[in-house]
Amino acid sequence: MTTLDPTMTLAELATDRPGASRVFHRLGLDFCCGGKRPLSDVCAERGLDVAGILAEIESAQPESNPVRWAERPVSDIVEFIVNHYHARLREELPELVELARRVETRHADKATCPKGLADHLEAVHASVLDHLHKEEQILFPLILRGESEYVGGPIHVMVLEHDDHGRNLEIIRELTNGLTPPEEACTSWRALYLRLDALEAELMEHIHLENHVLFPRATEA
């Protein structure tokens, strides 16, 4: 591992230190779509203590034997993305749509009800499924065949769609008061926000792995 430096980008830190992404998610720092910004710049903009964040990353307890994806074969990265992240999105998003619809129906009379959340999640589900299909049917086969000269266009499209996913996460937070349930929230309502928070964290890790690890490796001649 490299020595931590405030001029390192969020993406570099998240790639180098397993615990960095968890710290960034807790602080609401975008390390996937906005991951190319230096930590020092982000902290200055947000009024955060850069030294304190670096110390927290340094002391974060890593997973036992964490996988260092930057050192693994590209085929391993693709397999993990498809079998872990893609599979979980296909399973979780329909359930979140159903749960959000149930919460909105039962609590439509409350001012704090996240009105429009189910419709938004339904649109997110459709766009994510289309995105996963393009990766699995077009981009990933090119990468696995080592056809680096042909991946630039598909990667550009995927990165733009990742930006759209990031904006959709922002809309979810706007509709849910920052994923903070009100005092009157029932168990289902609270569970919905907890699952959305987990979805956000995992999707950001997913996008980071593609944007800052897989895609640069795939374009190497």
pLDDT digits over 126-146, tens only? 999 999 999 999 999 999 999
The pTM for the full model equals 0.84
> What pLDDT, on the 0 to 100 scale, is given for residue 25?
85
Q: Which residues pair with 38 in a beta bridge?
A: 9
> What pLDDT, on the 0 to 100 scale, is given for residue 16?
82
Cα separation, 160 vs 148, in Å, equals 19
Give me the residues of the chain with pLDDT under 70, please: 1-2, 61-65, 221
Q: How many CB atoms lie within 10 A of CB 203?
A: 22
> What pLDDT, on the 0 to 100 scale, is given for residue 40?
95
pLDDT digits (tens, 9 = 90+) for 3-33: 888 999 998 888 888 778 888 888 988 888 8
Place of tokens 């990742």: 162
Task: Name the nearest CA neighbour of 209 among 2, 15, 75, 4.
Answer: 15
Q: Are 143 and 74 in contact (CB under 8 A)?
A: yes
> What pLDDT, on the 0 to 100 scale, is given for residue 19?
79
Residue 94 token pair: 């329909």
Task: Name the nearest CA neighbour of 20 among 33, 36, 4.
Answer: 4
Q: Are 206 and 81 in contact (CB under 8 A)?
A: yes
Q: Are 91 and 60 in contact (CB under 8 A)?
A: no
Place of tokens 């710049």: 41
Cα separation, 118 vs 93, in Å, equals 10
Cα separation, 172 vs 4, in Å, equals 32
> What pLDDT, on the 0 to 100 scale, is given for residue 1?
60
Q: Are 193 and 180 in contact (CB under 8 A)?
A: yes
> What pLDDT, on the 0 to 100 scale, is given for residue 90?
97
Residue 95 token pair: 């359930």
Distances (CA, A) of 72 to 66, 111, 149, 152, 166: 12, 49, 21, 21, 26
Give the DSSP letter of residue 109: T
Q: Are 76 and 214 in contact (CB under 8 A)?
A: no
